[in-house]
Amino acid sequence: MSTLEDKEKRSIPCPGCHKPINATVYDLHTLRKVRCTGCGSELEITGSGASEIRHAIGDVEQARKKVEEAEKYTQRAEKDFKEAVDEAIAKADRHIKMK
């Protein structure tokens, strides 16, 4: 499954040759380093930048969880609704009106 972290690309200027290095947020988060295709320099993400990326990913994961919970809640509510309607129909007084 392709996630936001895989798709979100960032261009970071290489500290060596100043060419842009393209990296996904996933690369930055898991590998913590990306290699410049221009000069071969390795760019390492450390310190507050790394923890900010971690926080940003955490926020997205939390939002995803909330969406999942909301979906589950909606499914449960729809199921309850159907059951309530079935029950109401079963219990309802039914009269056939003769003409």
Which residue ranges make up the site for Zn ion (CB under 5 A)?
14, 16-17, 36, 38-39, 41
Radius of gyration of the chain (CA): 27
Least distance in angstroms from the C-beta of 16 to Zn ion: 4
Least distance in angstroms from the C-beta of 23 to Zn ion: 13
Phi, psi angles (nearest 5°) of residue 41:
-65, 145
Least distance in angstroms from the C-beta of 42 to Zn ion: 9
Nearer to Zn ion, 37 or 51 (CB): 37
Nearer to Zn ion, 19 or 29 (CB): 19
Whether residue 5 contacts residue 28, with contact meaning beta carbons closer than 8 Å, is answered with no
Cα–Cα distances (Å) from 29 to 3, 17, 64, in that order, read: 13, 23, 18
Question: Which of 17, 24, 65 lies closest to 39 in space, CA to CA?
Answer: 17
Least distance in angstroms from the C-beta of 73 to Zn ion: 49
CA geometry: angle at 80 spanning 78 and 81, to 5°?
Answer: 60
Nearer to Zn ion, 3 or 41 (CB): 41
Nearer to Zn ion, 6 or 42 (CB): 42
